[in-house]
Amino acid sequence: MAPPLVGSMAADRHSVAERSAVPRHVAIIMDGNGRWAKARFLPRVAGHSRGVESVRAVIEASIAHGVEYLTLFAFSSENWARPAEEVSVLMRLFMSSLQKEIDSLIRNGVRLRVVGQIDTFEPKLRELIRSAQERTAVHGNAGTRLHLTICASYSGRWDIVQAASRSAQAYRDTEVLPNEASFAQHLALSFAPDPDLLIRTSGEQRISNFLLWQLAYAEIYFTEALWPDFGAEAFSRALSWYAGRERRFGRTSEQVQDPGGAPC
Ligand code: IPE
Ligand code: IPE
Ligand code: MG
């Protein structure tokens, strides 16, 4: 019997990721900064500052392992509800990190994108984001080693709703109803393949309104490590765990292991 059309389309779409032991796209929910600081009787901001060092380590490790896309959840739409002082520290940290790291990103062939409700940021931060994105997009080896995406003021539901609005607009213009592929073109991460691996630190086992659409078939790795303690070694461990997973995308294990095998 011929395989169902949907099944064969899914197989084409996923074949590259399946063949590779290294995930093309890693997404991370960087959690546990506050608890890291609290355990040391430090203010929460100390945890956020140390967290920036983990970001640097994970960017370098991604390049070293040949990961093509790294997407980091830095600030959720829900995080605006935190105490004003903490939000303001996080915004300042975001600005100073952008300013400090941009040259090194350019040198290392990293293309930076910031996705989320950018219009919720103050004008100075918006301008920094705009110029950082532009500078990493135009240099000679832009994105040749890594596409780095920071999700800031981001929520998965917001992403789906903004894509639905744009899709409705496209329908008004073309009168062609959307399908999965055309709808996904309107999502914030339309330039990237779906994440193969999602890492969440700090022992929490939830998605927290991250990439709700895009994580449909991601392998999910939870670790007890708090984000400021997560570095190159911990990242390698997550990648080794991923390499041992069998990605089936709805098929049976036998089909995955022997795609040309006789049907049972
Ligand atoms: C993650 O660490 C950073 C952000 C959400 C901005 P947390 O600040 O959530 O740390 P915990 O969960 O309180 O330990
Ligand atoms: C998720 O962490 C958001 C980021 C890592 C930016 P939170 O610490 O805000 O998540 P919840 O609220 O505990 O689920
Ligand atoms: Mg948290």
45-87 pLDDT tens trace: 999 999 999 999 999 999 999 999 999 999 999 999 999 999 9
Residue 186 lies in a domain: no
Residue 56 lies in a domain: yes
Ligand 1 centroid vs 118 CA: distance in angstroms?
20
What share of the chain has pLDDT > 70, as a percent? 92
Residue 242 lies in a domain: yes
Mean pLDDT of 24-45: 98
Residue 28 has pLDDT above 80, yes or no: yes
In 3D space, the residue among 48, 16, 23 whose CA is nearest the CA of residue 33 turns out to be 48
* Angle subtended at Cα 120 by Cα 107 and Cα 203, rounded to the nearest 5 degrees: 70
pLDDT of residue 10: 41
4-21 pLDDT tens trace: 333 333 444 444 444 579
Q: Is 228 in the pocket of ligand 1 (CB under 6 A)?
A: no
Which residues neighbour 145 within 8 Å (Cβ) at sequence distance 6 or greater?
A: 63, 108, 109, 110
pLDDT of residue 19: 52
Residue 173 lies in a domain: no
Give the total number of structural domains in the chain: 1
Q: Is 75 in the pocket of ligand 2 (CB under 6 A)?
A: yes
Q: Is 79 in the pocket of ligand 2 (CB under 6 A)?
A: yes
Specify the CATH number for the domain of residue 52.
3.40.1180.10
Alpha helices in the chain (DSSP H): 5-19, 33-39, 44-65, 84-107, 123-138, 156-174, 180-184, 232-243, 253-257
Query: How would you classify residue 181: left for phi > 0, otherwise alpha for psi between -120 and 50, otherwise beta?
Result: alpha
Containing structural domain, residue 115: 21-155+194-250
**Active centre residues (catalytic):** 31, 79
pTM for the model stands at: 0.92
Helix (H) or strand (E) holding 148: strand 146-154
d(CA 105, CA 230): 20
